[in-house]
Structure 1
Amino acid sequence: MKGKGVSVGIGFGNIVILKNEIRKIEKNIVEDSDKELERFHKALEEVINETNQIVEKARGTEKEIMTAYLMIMQDPSLILETESQIKNSKINAEYATEMGFNSVIQIFENMDDEYMSGRARDIADIKDRIISKLYNEEKIDLSKLKNNTIIVAKELTTSDTAKLDFKNISGIITEVGGENSHTSIMARTHLLPAVTKVENATTILKNGEYVAINGGSGEIFENPTEEQQQNLIKIQKDFIESKVELEKYKNLESKTKDGFKVELVSNIGTPADVELVLKNTAEGIGLLRSEFLYMDSEEMPTEEEQFNSYKEVAEKMQGKQVIIRTLDVGGDKEIKYLKMEKEANPFLGYRAIRLCLDNPEIFKPQIRALLRASAYGNIAIMFPMISSIEELRRAKAVVEECKKELDNEGKEYKKDIKTGIMVEIPSVAIIAEEIAKECDFFSIGTNDLIQYTVAVERGNEKISNLYSKYHPAVIRLIKSSIDGAHKAGIFCGMCGEAASDELLIPLLVGLGLDEFSMNPNKILNSRKIVNMLDKKECEKLAEEILKLGTTSEVEEKLKEFNKKIV
């Protein structure tokens, strides 16, 4: 069996299957809606109290995750939606909870961002826990599992994961989930192997069955042979040795053997992720996605709420640069209170900076909050989906307008705050030299740049083979962006997945990329690679790559170079 490895490591143990019971919730008309409201509030209070107890015992990343989970649970918009269903429709609390929460879950599930869509699972988990309380259901005690247990479930919820005694768990297997789910994050925090997207795992595998899992490759071995076990033990030994070796790269400079220095920084989705950034000694934050503030609520976040979140990150980073991207949503990331129309192709539609420039009531509070937070750390503002110089000028004009307002109000902000753009549309990469004169930095968003360059929707599996970061046209647009930035005297970073690709790092160094922004867990390995490189050799590699005309030729040449340095 095979799935997607989301937490590296090897685990051996006996299976315990957690069944996610599918219950049919009946709709009943009630006479006493006040009594149903009381039942709902009692169930909600019990769930909140249980979660508070978990938060009090938790530490580090686990505490951050459960605190964020608790905040979702106490979101007034979620509670009001259910209360409204009970009062207005005179229905039972169970059905009202199901309907009220499902309307919010659907919004999150439709989001393109994997981290944000993952929050739909948290809301569904809260819903199920409340309904379980209303039905007086009892669940298995996950804190009392036997030693060397491998958990198998359709989906392991945030609350389930928080209840686990990790000393007794050897691994986790789920049918659904992603790399950014809270279960995956917690598994990595506890150095626990985990594999997701294993089809029919809960029906194929059996309770008590002895299995081995490889959280790196995603492989699952039922009743492994002696030879398979020995091979896995060797893989685990090599993994532990490599982890120990990577620890040596903490706090080292990210520079090549001949002294070319780059910045290795992190992409994050919430303030809770800062702990991982610091743990892996990243040199800053190259992308803080601000969408979490807008997606977690049915009401527009206030300027004050945004200010407090940005300030928290800036203070935790202690002077290191924090680049915060302004709101990047569109028809694919629906926000209920914005009333955005469904579009035939939302990736090419009314989104990101286009939406913000037309809606100052959304854009200005965010810019004001970012400016105010800049007084507490090294914040820079980044505009997404810029396609022209005209758009950039309009966005910068809003920043200047907000600065004047804050001056008049006597509020502090960093006067020379930097403003930059995401280079994710080919039109900007082509006029990079001209547009670079009007901003302080570039950050190449390769995920969308590839999509727009080769006309392939990222999520379309039928044509996914055409979506490649090794496409010669993509590489030439990256070069154009870097060269344009440098001619204008500004730095050029990259915040797409390509920034941590082991094959691409030497090429990007050769092209002169200044900043590599990535998942915090990939910082140390990327630093190790950079420290093994020679800038002149990388420049020669770049010259050779730029002469190639096919994706396969590029990939082959990169693999050849990689063999020389490993």
Structure 2
Amino acid sequence: MVTEMTDPDWEPVMKKAAAIITNKGGRTCHAAIVARELGVPAIVGCDNATEILKTSEEITVSCAEGETGIVYRGRIAFTKKEHRISDLPEINTPVMMNIGSPDIAFRYAHYPAKGVGLAREEFIINNYIKIHPLALLGHEYLGDAGLTTLIRETISGYESEEQYFIEKLSYGIAKIAAAYYPNKVIVRFSDFKTNEYYNMPGGKYFEPAEENPMIGWRGASRYYSDVYKAAFGMECKAIKSVRENMGLDNVIVMIPFCRTVDELSLVYKTMEEFGLKRGQNKLEVYLMAEVPSNVILAEQFAEQIDGFSIGSNDLTQLILGLDRDSSLVANLYNERNDAVKIMISSLIRSAKKMNVKVGICGQGPSDYPDFAQFLVEEGIDSISVTPDSFMKTVNAIKEIEDKLAVKVMG
């Protein structure tokens, strides 16, 4: 599959692709993240791939040469190297899995992961529900006959639009939670940006046009908004159903892109309106630490949560002041930058001081063994990686822990 750039609408096609090439994007863009979780080779930020490559042309895509992917003309022979999961070493630092699609949850459930460090709701919403949440609830007032017909056909067999959303979302979450039960599964509330929601059926009626959606109306700021609250309520009801009706109480919820402590309180208030309360039925709530304020005010946030999960993808772009989806500044995007490492180190220390868990679910430790070493040395509680990086990361951490043990003994 060769295209300019991908977004969530492309995911059904991406599942069928043998490889993915895009003109735009960086190491943590949508195409790169989804391809890793699907186990599909991907090369992003090629600038002119759509001009050079022709439809039906045979090529070989290789991501085995390091950070730079290579496209060969023609079909090139290759060899496979198999690894036995049973040969993986025992390590002290728990390694978890990032799972986007419920369809792949059981495929990797036999890996010795200590649970799921990041399950993304928005992938389920896009692939299972396929309609903008607010359009489901309000399509009859929009005067769009085509949209109403689509929604009525889509929800056929369900009592209501709300029931359709809740059951579809709860089924997707439950599939992931069941695959890893009784280990913890951290489910992140929806974190689509406005441009991504806009592209869903009915989205154009509810989403504003933002100059920079990456730092716009996303994450926590949507949940308590009078405009979006009803849609967030359906997410809360789905989580409640998974935990209480299906008995999958290993599900933890995570709040993304929460900019202030006051905003966190507003999210909690909204959750309670829809039947979710931190501590009730042992419900834990994590905060995705991806905004600099989460680090600077870590101790204040820690008073109201059960754990942090460092979202190093967004945290890095906000600390360094760059767009992680831009191939023009991709060379500057680096989680190993001293500024990023100082912030992460500060967060880990604050979490330890406040006695709350702290893990990481960004791409850095999957790609860079020295970054994983830094995290282990800092005392991080867990590292969550994509399935394709799991074995590599476990082996890298084993080497790191052995070196640290020798230092202590010395």
- In the superposition, the TM-score normalised over structure 2's length comes to 0.74
Residue 306 of structure 1 deviates from its aligned partner by 1.9
Q: Does residue 200 of structure 2 align to residue 330 of structure 1?
A: no
Does the residue aligned with 1:393 lie in a helix, a strand or coil? helix
Q: Which residue of 2 aligns with 1:515?
A: 382
Unmatched 5+ stretches in structure 1: 1-17, 21-105, 123-156, 162-171, 189-193, 256-261, 406-412, 542-566
> How many aligned residue pairs are there?
350
Gap change, CA 1:313 and 1:244, over 3 Å in 2: closer
Q: Which residue of 2 aligns with 1:456?
A: 322
Q: Which residue of 2 aligns with 1:533?
A: 400
289, 292, 308: which one aligns with 2:171: 308
Q: Does residue 334 of structure 2 align to residue 468 of structure 1?
A: yes
Q: Does residue 42 of structure 2 align to residue 119 of structure 1?
A: no
339, 350, 361: which one aligns with 2:230: 361
Residue 175 of structure 1 deviates from its aligned partner by 5.4
Residue 430 of structure 1 deviates from its aligned partner by 0.8
461, 465, 483: which one aligns with 2:349: 483
Q: Which residue of 1 aligns with 2:64?
A: 216
Q: Which residue of 1 aligns with 2:207?
A: 340
Q: Which residue of 2 aligns with 1:58?
A: none
Separation in 1, partners of 2:271, 2:19: 47
Q: Does residue 124 of structure 2 align to residue 293 of structure 1?
A: yes
Does the CA-based 8 Å contact 2:38-2:104 persist in structure 1? no
Counterpart amino acid of 2:299? E
Does the CA-based 8 Å contact 1:444-1:493 persist in structure 2? yes
Residue 203 of structure 1 deviates from its aligned partner by 7.9
Does the CA-based 8 Å contact 1:507-1:539 persist in structure 2? no
Q: Which residue of 1 aligns with 2:96?
A: 265
Separation in 2, partners of 1:212, 1:526: 26
Separation in 2, partners of 1:212, 1:328: 34
Separation in 1, partners of 2:256, 2:85: 33
Matches within 5 A, 1:12-161: 111=7, 116-119=8-11, 121=13, 158=16
Q: Which residue of 1 aligns with 2:365?
A: 499
Gap change, CA 1:418 and 1:460, over 3 Å in 2: same
Does the residue aligned with 2:253 lie in a helix, a strand or coil? strand
Separation in 2, partners of 1:539, 1:390: 45
Does the CA-based 8 Å contact 2:132-2:197 persist in structure 1? no
Gap change, CA 1:428 and 1:520, over 3 Å in 2: same
Residue 282 of structure 1 deviates from its aligned partner by 1.4
Q: Which residue of 1 aligns with 2:147?
A: none
Q: Which residue of 2 aligns with 1:144?
A: none
Counterpart amino acid of 1:119? E
Residue 222 of structure 1 deviates from its aligned partner by 6.3
Counterpart amino acid of 1:416? K
Counterpart amino acid of 1:340? E
Q: Which residue of 2 aligns with 1:278?
A: 109
Separation in 1, partners of 2:338, 2:96: 26
Q: Which residue of 2 aligns with 1:439?
A: 305
Does the CA-based 8 Å contact 2:36-2:388 persist in structure 1? no
Q: Which residue of 2 aligns with 1:254?
A: 91
Gap change, CA 1:281 and 1:349, over 3 Å in 2: same
Gap change, CA 1:480 and 1:302, over 3 Å in 2: same
Choose 1 or 2 for highest CA Rg: 1
Residue 449 of structure 1 deviates from its aligned partner by 0.3
Residue 467 of structure 1 deviates from its aligned partner by 1.8
Does the CA-based 8 Å contact 1:246-1:525 persist in structure 2? no
Separation in 2, partners of 1:539, 1:454: 35
What is the percentage of aligned positions where both structures have the same residue?
A: 21
Gap change, CA 1:538 and 1:356, over 3 Å in 2: farther
Q: Which residue of 2 aligns with 1:385?
A: 257
Does the CA-based 8 Å contact 1:285-1:517 persist in structure 2? yes
- 1:483-524 deviation digits (Å, cap 9, x = unpaired): 111111111011110132322111100111111111012111
Does the residue aligned with 2:263 lie in a helix, a strand or coil? helix
Does the residue aligned with 2:181 lie in a helix, a strand or coil? coil
Gap change, CA 1:120 and 1:466, over 3 Å in 2: same
Separation in 2, partners of 1:418, 1:332: 30
- In the superposition, the TM-score normalised over structure 1's length comes to 0.55
Does the CA-based 8 Å contact 2:37-2:99 persist in structure 1? no
Separation in 1, partners of 2:176, 2:12: 24
Q: Which residue of 1 aligns with 2:243?
A: 374
Gap change, CA 1:443 and 1:253, over 3 Å in 2: same
Residue 539 of structure 1 deviates from its aligned partner by 12
Gap change, CA 1:534 and 1:484, over 3 Å in 2: same
Residue 176 of structure 1 deviates from its aligned partner by 5.1
Root mean square deviation of aligned Cα: 3.7
- 1:239-293 deviation digits (Å, cap 9, x = unpaired): 62xx4366511xx5432xxxxxx22111111211212431332111111110123
Q: Which residue of 2 aligns with 1:80?
A: none
Does the residue aligned with 1:461 lie in a helix, a strand or coil? coil
Residue 121 of structure 1 deviates from its aligned partner by 3.5
Q: Which residue of 1 aligns with 2:153?
A: none
Does the CA-based 8 Å contact 2:95-2:384 persist in structure 1? yes
- 1:514-547 deviation digits (Å, cap 9, x = unpaired): 1111101211111111122237849999xxxxxx
Separation in 1, partners of 2:106, 2:309: 23
Residue 118 of structure 1 deviates from its aligned partner by 3.0
Counterpart amino acid of 2:126? M
Residue 400 of structure 1 deviates from its aligned partner by 2.9
Residue 307 of structure 1 deviates from its aligned partner by 2.1
Gap change, CA 1:539 and 1:347, over 3 Å in 2: farther
Gap change, CA 1:278 and 1:414, over 3 Å in 2: farther
Does the CA-based 8 Å contact 1:282-1:520 persist in structure 2? no
Gap change, CA 1:360 and 1:222, over 3 Å in 2: closer
Does the residue aligned with 1:534 lie in a helix, a strand or coil? helix
Does the CA-based 8 Å contact 1:303-1:368 persist in structure 2? yes
Counterpart amino acid of 2:117? G
Does the residue aligned with 1:443 lie in a helix, a strand or coil? strand
Separation in 1, partners of 2:118, 2:251: 11
Counterpart amino acid of 1:355? R
Residue 183 of structure 1 deviates from its aligned partner by 11
Does the CA-based 8 Å contact 1:510-1:539 persist in structure 2? no
Counterpart amino acid of 1:288? A
Counterpart amino acid of 1:389? V
Residue 180 of structure 1 deviates from its aligned partner by 6.1
